[in-house]
Amino acid sequence: MKFNKKIGFTSTVPIEIIFAAGKIPVDLNNYFVTSPDREELLYEAEKKGLPRTVCSWIKGIYSLFQLPFEKIIFVEGGDCSNTTALREVAEYEGIDFISFHYPLKQDSQLCLKSIENLAQAFDVKMTSVREVYNRLKGIRSNLRIIDRAGYERTGLINSSEIFEFLIGATDFNSNIDEFEARLEDLIHKIDTSVYKEKKFLRIGLCGVPPIFQDLFDYLEKLGAYVVYNEIPIEFAMLEGDQIEDSYSIYTYPYGIFARIKKIKQEIKRRQIDGIIHYVQSFCYRNIENIVLKKEIEKPVLTFEGDSTFLLSPRDKLRLENFVEMLK
């Protein structure tokens, strides 16, 4: 992989700016979790001194500092304070970085200010940023089609495939044209397949994206299908007419209450039977589980992942029990 022009980032940012600047966005979370060396990356981070009690995403991203990114964007407002400490370490280690802050509330004009500041840092005009945003609109509307296939024609395609496209949209896998072509192939498959209704339990997966790579397939084996990927859908920016709308409607940076409002709407729309609330070990967001469990009027399984990428026998047992209970 050549790193010339590659801009890493720690959480969702307006990638339109990076593309408009002629650079290549790389979501460091996706890069880490799909890396064949991901175990080694975690080991290296601890060896260099990151505490055991820091979440695996932070450790994985820290180890990616060794790659020669042109710059790394740290989302310091709207993500976790771990990212601020990580940026301090990056600064100390001489990494070229930019800090990005979402506003404290869902306000499109405040969000526009944050977007303009980032555009300025890359020396690009907002007209170019808006052009890229409009170019991505068509792809995002295709993402809506596959998301809808998941809850209207459940079982027609694998839920893991839907998840991969939604989460891949944080950086369009660093190549818009390739991403678009692969997505069109999947849509063609959906359009030309004959759908025979299949009976699945309908699961909503809430919380930060799971570190487990076999979660979706295992649930399907149990007869349960993820019809709602809360955070990946948010990351994919499927709503909004202007860039500042999309990045202020999207709930992830704006706290648990904005998220719960949206989750409740989606539970109704997608006729969800039960929620799996994925929590990452040592993540501050786990505290919010208290609110989520009380607010959601569906059975909720709090399901924790740490530093292994495949489900353990105990994890599988917990999922089996949850699915049995829903039946």
Contact set with ligand SF4 (CB under 6 A): 55, 57-58, 79-80, 82, 208, 280, 283-285
Rounded-to-integer distance, Cα 320 and Cα 277, Å: 15
Q: Which residue number, 79 or 230, has a Cβ lying nearer to ligand SF4?
A: 79
Q: How far is the CB of 283 from ligand SF4 (least distance, A)?
A: 3
Pairing of strands 274-280, 224-229: unpaired
Q: How far is the CB of 278 from ligand SF4 (least distance, A)?
A: 10
Would you mind telling me the total number of residues written for the chain in this entry? 327
Rounded-to-integer distance, Cα 200 and Cα 197, Å: 9
Q: Which residue number, 82 or 246, has a Cβ lying nearer to ligand SF4?
A: 82
- Tell me the H-state helices in the chain: 15-20, 28-33, 38-47, 56-64, 81-92, 108-121, 126-152, 159-168, 176-192, 215-221, 230-235, 243-249, 256-270, 289-295, 313-326
Q: How far is the CB of 57 from ligand SF4 (least distance, A)?
A: 4
Q: Which residue number, 41 or 124, has a Cβ lying nearer to ligand SF4?
A: 41
Q: How far is the CB of 296 from ligand SF4 (least distance, A)?
A: 20
At 273, list the tokens.
Answer: 């039977």
Q: Which residue number, 90 or 149, has a Cβ lying nearer to ligand SF4?
A: 90
Rounded-to-integer distance, Cα 186 and Cα 129, Å: 28
Q: Which residue number, 142 or 286, has a Cβ lying nearer to ligand SF4?
A: 286
Q: Which residue number, 3 or 284, has a Cβ lying nearer to ligand SF4?
A: 284
Q: Supply angle C-alpha 3, 170, 59, rounded to 5.
A: 65
Q: How far is the CB of 211 from ligand SF4 (least distance, A)?
A: 9
User: Do residues 155 and 225 make contact, with C-beta atoms less than 8 angstroms apart?
Assistant: yes
Q: Which residue number, 77 or 223, has a Cβ lying nearer to ligand SF4?
A: 77
Q: How far is the CB of 305 from ligand SF4 (least distance, A)?
A: 10
Rounded-to-integer distance, Cα 181 and Cα 177, Å: 6
Rounded-to-integer distance, Cα 278 and Cα 11, Å: 17
CA atoms lying within 13 Å on the CB side of residue 305: 22
Q: From the centroid of its chain, how far is CA 199?
A: 28
Q: How far is the CB of 167 from ligand SF4 (least distance, A)?
A: 13
